[in-house]
Amino acid sequence: MRRLVLILAGLGLPASAFAAAGQQPIEPIDVPPSIEQGLDMVYIDREMAPSIEQRDEQLQAQGYDDFKVAPVDMFAPVHPLYTDLRRALIRYQMRWGSLPQVQVASGPTLKLNSTGDRVAVLRQRLGLPEGTKFDAATAAAVKEFQGVHGFKADGIAGAGTIKALNLGYKHYENVLLLNMERARRLPRTTESGRYVLVDAGSARLTMYEDGRPVDSMRVIVGSQATETPMMAALLRFVSVHPWWNTPPELAKKSVAPGVLNEGLKYLTDRDYQVLSDWSDDAQPIDPATVDWKAVADGKVTARLRRGPGEWNSMGDYKFNMPNDFGIYLHDVPGHEKDLFKADNRWISNGCIRLEDAQRFAKWLFGRPLKGEDSKTEVNVDLPEPVPVYVTYLTAEAGPNGPKFRADPYSRDPALLARYFGDGQQQVAAFNP
């Protein structure tokens, strides 16, 4: 499979060209069929293509047309995540690659002082001396395996741990190779300037300057039903105290029933404005003219937006990288800040919510960014657009080797089956 660079739009335009609140589409578009979902990034902006194309030409000149995850860092600059994952792969091979790939039968949980034939096979699988007792050494080996493979490291071999052991070394080696291939699509170490890397697999954003990470923060990304796509786009301007266009599904499920229960006061109390349509020049209309029962029933689509303030889901900042997916980065209102403390941060409608939008804005502009009026949206162009790369990694490189993560979008199984013949039918829904 050749590396694909798809340009959806060449949008070399300032904020003024996108200032209308209705520029984002109502629903995200589908990923183009030429893109391997879960592996390739869609390149939105024409300006980003030359460096990617140049890198691919280098790889192809060395005979790397196809998916094969070779040690390209020996002859061409790659992203440091690729190099880190390659080193992690070597450590993984050394620690886990030579162990007996025997299958442990399913059954009751195995823990300290358990005995029997299943314990004997478990000990063999972990490279321990022969024996039938689950002793301290067995618990330590199980705990080490769990820590590497994305489980709570409690030293107890339950059904999930046994299932992971039975997947075998090659399965996890292939997961690392798959993630290396994703990392190979990221910017090279030699690329100067600033860029942003969002990893939807770990729900984390990292800011880079001249090839090095300089800051990082947690983010909230799309749920499994509304995945954040793998894409690359230019962040061009920031909306301070932005308006928020309410998704039609939310208008149907939440706003319209609220109006039916409480009357039009529901809208005024929450600073909702109703617009005539979804065009750029839409005008405010009288909410009393809307058939809210029809909106709640899904027979009519109402366009609503919310002004700046405590109710606004955009918070104080919206970071715009115009694209047909309708994906952008944004702040959150104060009452949602605690969501970033949770382990499950795959809960958005696809956009990327920032743990500290003010700090991110300061990094972009080199100064605090504030609007003149907290009730007025102001668009501020960046002096130079900043690239944003959204990837998806299900493994990371730790100091002693890899650490595998969950696959919240279930993207890995089909890719593993396609490129490695990995028997994914049995593990398609597996997540530690």
Structural contact between residues 424 and 414, judged by C-beta atoms closer than 8 angstroms: yes
Residue 247 near residue 349 (C-beta atoms within 8 A): yes
330 is catalytic: yes
Please say whether the beta carbons of 88 and 183 come within 8 A. no
Q: Minimal CA–CA distance to 29: which of 44, 12, 49?
A: 44
Quick one: CA dihedral 53, 59, 65, 70, positive or negative? Answer: negative
The residue from 79, 149, 330, 335 that is catalytic is 330
- The secondary structure of 240-263, three-state, reads ECCCEECCHHHHHHHHHHHHHHHC
Instruction: Compute the distance between CA of residue 81 and CA of residue 85 in angstroms, rounded to an integer.
Output: 6
Alpha-carbon distance of 71 to 424, in angstroms, equals 26
Please answer whether residues 393 and 201 qualify as being in contact, where contact means their C-beta atoms are separated by less than 8 angstroms: yes
Output the DSSP codes for 42-100.
EE--GGGHHHHHHHHHHHHHTT--SS----GGGTS---HHHHHHHHHHHHHHHHHTTS-
State how far the Cα of 27 lies from the Cα of 248, in Å rounded to an integer. Answer: 9
Least Cα distance to 197 among 396, 417, 429 occurs for 396
Quick one: how far is CA 270 from the chain centroid? 31
Of 79, 171, 241, 351, the catalytic one is 351
Residues tagged active-site: 330, 351
